[in-house]
Amino acid sequence: MTPRPQPGNPRPRLFRLPQDRALINRLGFPGRGAEFLAARLRGPRPDGLVLGVNLGKNAFTPLDAAVQDYLSLLDVFAPLTDYLAVNVSSPNTVGLRRLQARAALDSLLAALVERRAALRDSKHLHLPILVKLSPDLSSAELDDALTAILDQGVDGVIAANTTLSRGSLASEHAAETGGLSGAPLRAGNTAMVAEIHRRTAGKLPIVGVGGVMDAADAREMLQAGATLVQIYTGLVYTGPGLVKAILTDL
């Protein structure tokens, strides 16, 4: 979700790669803006539903003004959601991934944590914040991001977003630009979860995501150190029955 409405990137912008059980998207955060979604979220919610909102800056917001976009989103959604995901890793908004650099991420998270503390004191809200990281970070870049996350007292990470790397793909649309998701990410993203778990001594909750296509993939992600597992592309190729299959197996 972005503060203001935006159309996203030109169509076509979503491609199935069935031979690889993968997708490529370059959506670019299309949406009707924060106030539209907030109005929807103020309605009744099913009992027991855990609701998170994924935050990103508008494409037309300069990078040096991005903090204000995230702060405005926190203000809108703090009373309406159970957690916030700070997305600084989408490959489809120009420059966004630069916010994962140590100084930029430290500054962004410090501002968000300070605003969260003010809301906690004034409105008695407890709002977990998670940071969604890129699978394309180098070892040093991952260290920098984790240091900022731990220093600022953020509640967890989502590992990881879509990738710009391609590897060996067989499908017709393999050369399309955008973020790759699905089965080709499984090994790399699971290894990233294990590495984050190791580097943080298991102190940082991790939402493992990327290439979880069946129950065995979910089990492997949990064994690597994930606290929770998220699925996306697996739902496209298997359908919602995938959730029951995973839960039954576990």
Task: Quote the Cα angle for 123-124-126, to 5°.
Answer: 120
In the annotation, is 90 catalytic? yes
pTM of the model: 0.95
Instruction: Quote the strand ranges of 141-205, DSSP E.
Output: 156-159, 179-182
Lookup: tokens for 18: 């069935």
CATH number of this structure's domain 14-249: 3.20.20.70
Asked whether the beta carbons of 162 and 25 are under 8 A apart, the reply is: yes
Full pLDDT tens readout for the chain, 250 residues:
999 999 999 999 999 999 999 999 999 999 999 999 999 999 999 999 999 999 999 999 999 999 999 999 999 999 999 999 999 999 999 999 999 999 999 999 999 999 999 999 998 888 999 999 999 999 999 999 999 999 999 999 999 999 999 999 999 999 999 999 999 999 999 999 999 999 999 999 999 999 999 999 999 999 999 999 999 999 999 999 999 999 999 9
Exactly one of 90, 122, 168, 181 is catalytic; name it: 90
Sign of the C-alpha dihedral computed for residues 158, 196, 242 and 15 taken in this order: positive
Domains of the chain, residue spans: 14-249
Task: Quote the Cα angle for 182-148-183, to 5°.
Answer: 5
3-state secondary structure of 98: helix
Asked whether the beta carbons of 103 and 97 are under 8 A apart, the reply is: no
The pLDDT score that the predictor gives to residue 123 is 87
The pLDDT score that the predictor gives to residue 155 is 97
Please name the residue ranges forming H helices in 42-133: 66-77, 102-123
Cβ neighbour number for residue 39 with a 10 Å cutoff:
11
Asked whether the beta carbons of 159 and 207 are under 8 A apart, the reply is: yes
